Amino acid sequence: MSYTAEISRKQATGFVFVIDQSGSMKDKMASGATKADFVADVLNKTLANLIIRSTKSDGVRNYFEVGVLVYGGKGVKPGFGEELSETLLQPLADVAANPLRVEERTKKVDDGAGGLVEQPIKFPVWFEPTSAGGTPVCEALRQTAASLVAWCDEHPNSYPPTVLHVTDGESTDGDPEEIGRQLQEIATSDGNVLVFNLHIDTSEGTGLMFPSDETSLPDANARRLFRMSSLLPEHLVKGAVQAGYSATHDSRFFGYKAGTEGIVDFFDIGTRASELR
């Protein structure tokens, strides 16, 4: 059975975030933040959550290796800072130790008397928002595939890596469908690489999440991204259903015209690999 390998320090899994930083990512969402800003915040929070889940009193356990690849005006490049740029996938403990900075932010918490109070929290930042130029999806996926072939060779029995690709437009360097298909053919003994795609929009809400049929999608780009997306493994069907989506075993891990809520859910559900051990 696929996607059941236990995730441990001896048998880590990987997450690769492929993020669109093209010019259109500077469009503002309903919240007032640009798409680039909002995606950067959610990605930084997702990285922090992966680290916090893996942190014990004796340090960060390397259950995961993570990488960020960005594409836009400067072509395709690593999304982390210099300390983390040697290889695409970096052990989680190294990521935890090398944020660009740790900001002080506030969050609202229950005051225990029916109200909310602001509480200071530390917010580590690894990934900066920028937005310029075109959308070289093909090259980004090609570089991702090259890294994951090597990673899967080194981790033959691990839960396979997951690629979370976020974009707001169409590829400007060709049709990415073939390289997307090749990416999904890379595998460990526990299953093929999971490729999750999210098309984002400036609207509020979730858009269309986890569709099971491409005929419900309005244009060729959406249908292409649908076909480039993996089916949800069993435990992620459960995760999506628990989050309120009507996902089934025929659903693809794809979201179309997702707004703020959809972006948050995409990262949250997409990084729920099987149970840590």
Which residues contact another protein by CB under 8 A? Answer: 6, 8, 10, 48, 51-57, 60, 96, 102, 110, 121-122, 124, 275-277
> Looking at beta carbons only, is 97 or 220 nearer to another protein?
97
> Looking at beta carbons only, is 242 or 248 nearer to another protein?
242
Q: How far is the CB of 43 from another protein (least distance, A)?
A: 17
Secondary structure letter of residue 214 according to DSSP? G
The DSSP element (H or E) to which 18 belongs, if any, is: strand 13-21
Residue-by-residue DSSP string for 94-158 = HHHH--SEEEEEEEEEE-SSSSEEEEEEEEEE-------S---HHHHHHHHHHHHHHHHHH-TTS
Secondary structure letter of residue 7 according to DSSP? B
Place of tokens 């695409």: 88
Q: How far is the CB of 124 from another protein (least distance, A)?
A: 6
User: Residue 52, CB half-sphere, CA atoms under 13 Å: how many?
Assistant: 9
Of the chain, the end-to-end C-alpha distance in Å amounts to 18
> Looking at beta carbons only, is 60 or 217 nearer to another protein?
60
> Looking at beta carbons only, is 53 or 223 nearer to another protein?
53
Q: How far is the CB of 112 from another protein (least distance, A)?
A: 8
CA distance 212 to 168: 21
Q: How far is the CB of 86 from another protein (least distance, A)?
A: 21
> Looking at beta carbons only, is 77 or 235 nearer to another protein?
235
